[in-house]
Amino acid sequence: MCRALSLRQAEVAHWQHVARGLRLAFANEGTLLPFEGFDRLRPLDLQAMAEKHAGQRLDWVLECQGEGTNGYQVLKQADTMMLPFLLPRRELSEALAAMGHAMTEEQGRRTAEHDLTRTTHDSSMKPEHDPSGASSVAEEPHLGTYGDPLTCCSTTTLGCWWSRAG
């Protein structure tokens, strides 16, 4: 991939240094969290909000009520779900391993279920914001080869992809 992107060794070394400083946050049961402390935010019933405010963006509804999404377990896009969409399984596994983590099939399923029940899809998960081109130089298939982000996340889970892509 470095060759395909014309990356110089100094750039690779820089990003390896950056990667070593990254941390991942996991809930007690092993679910990959969007960020440290996400599990301590207040839960919000997205389905009830969607029914009450049909056709309206949740973040705007909360702002009109004098609140915002920052205090709730709400995601406008499921960033952790985008990882297998952008990277082939092997590359994702290697990146996680370099950070001292392994993602089991069960953790992938739990992470997918966790994120999908908390995601409003008000941002880049929409088909018109298809990021699959970012990994088009990858030699192995990534989840993006199975369709647009919203379709993939609605019809598959990380765990299914994890076991299918090996």
Please tell me which residue, 140 or 93, carries the higher pLDDT value: 93
Query: In this predicted model, what pLDDT tens digit does every residue of 142-154 receive, in sequence order?
Result: 555 555 555 555 4
> Do residues 157 and 107 make contact, with C-beta atoms less than 8 angstroms apart?
no
3-state secondary structure of 160: helix
Query: In this predicted model, what pLDDT tens digit does every residue of 107-164 receive, in sequence order?
Result: 888 888 888 888 887 654 444 444 444 444 445 555 555 555 555 554 444 444 444 4
- Residue-averaged pLDDT of the chain: 75
Residue 100, sorted as left (phi over 0), alpha (psi -120 to 50) or beta, turns out to be: left
pLDDT at 134: 44
pLDDT at 145: 54
Query: In this predicted model, what pLDDT tens digit does every residue of 2-58 receive, in sequence order?
Result: 788 888 899 989 988 887 888 888 898 888 898 999 999 999 998 898 899 988 888
Place of tokens 């996340």: 153
Strand partners, 33: 25
> Do residues 89 and 162 make contact, with C-beta atoms less than 8 angstroms apart?
yes
Strand partners, 42: 72
- Rg of the chain on CA atoms, in Å: 17
DSSP character for 102?
-
Query: In this predicted model, what pLDDT tens digit does every residue of 63-92 receive, in sequence order?
Result: 899 998 889 999 887 777 777 777 777 888
Beta strand pairing call for 25-26 and 32-33: antiparallel
Domain boundary assignment for the chain: 23-164
> Do residues 113 and 157 make contact, with C-beta atoms less than 8 angstroms apart?
yes
Maximum pairwise Cα distance, the chain: 54
pLDDT at 152: 54
What are the Cα distances from residue 15, in Å, to 1, 10, 12, 63, 64? Answer: 14, 9, 5, 37, 41
